[in-house]
Amino acid sequence: MPYRRLPNTDQARLRALKTALQKGNAISPWDLAYSQKLYLQLKAFLPIYEQAIDQYNFSRDRQAKYGKLLNEQFKIARLYISHFLQVLNFCIIRGEIKPEARVSLGIDINDKAVPEMGTEQQLIHWGEKIIKGEEKRMLYGGNRIYNPSIAIVKIKYEKFLDYYNNHKNLQVTTQKMHSKVAELREKADNLILHIWNEVEENFNQLPGDSKRDKSKEYGVVYVLRKHEKEEVE
């Protein structure tokens, strides 16, 4: 015998609620298979729930798109900072700049390697140290580094930082929207459960198949058990 299965996704919940509301809008109150109290609750709740889902989906999609743009800016900023440090090392090898320049950037005087910048946090850490350190070195008359200059490096780094901060803000917004939907989801489940219970109770005097067919018109979902599916096949 088929059994009733409550919705377990937001879209399935919306379908169930909308189907029940459509019945409530189309049928007179005394012919409706569930109470007017539930009908009024449903009519008030559904727009709020649907709007919350739309807002969450919009925020989530925007966050995902912004994440791709952030990744592009991350790669660009890391490339410019890495190239700047490589040029610095070449200048030191040629004797144009003293090795002490590394210290001003927060790097060991004898360390010729480019620091690890594989994560956003590492890039932020080294980007800030290198830019501030190089600007301070320039104030004291240090030889300038070109191709790329620290000014260009700073522009690329700050653009990445803007995308990083905006993406973090979007993550916070998306999480808030998700929490709101989760809270409303509980209310949706409770409302659907009560509507379906009243609908089935209203058609309880009918034979099994007729009861299920009538209940389906209100959005109630029935599924076959595994062995029943095999028998049908």
If pLDDT is split at 50, 70 and 90, which confidence band does 232 have?
very low
Taking each helix axis from N to C end, the angle separating 150-202 and 208-216, rounded to the nearest 10 degrees, works out to 140
Scanning the chain, the segments in alpha helix (DSSP H) are 10-26, 36-94, 100-104, 120-139, 150-202, 208-216, 226-232
Q: Which long-range contacts (CB under 8 A, 24 or more apart) does 33-37 make?
A: 33/198, 33/199, 33/202, 33/203, 33/214, 33/215, 33/218, 34/194, 34/195, 34/198, 34/199, 34/202, 34/218, 35/198
Per-residue pLDDT of 134-148, as tens digits, reads 999 998 888 899 999
Per-residue pLDDT of 43-93, as tens digits, reads 999 999 999 999 999 999 999 999 999 999 999 999 999 999 999 999 999
Q: Using CA atoms, how far apart are residues 158 and 164, in angstroms rounded to an integer?
A: 9
If pLDDT is split at 50, 70 and 90, which confidence band does 228 have?
low
What is the pLDDT at residue 96?
94
Domain limits, the chain = 3-232
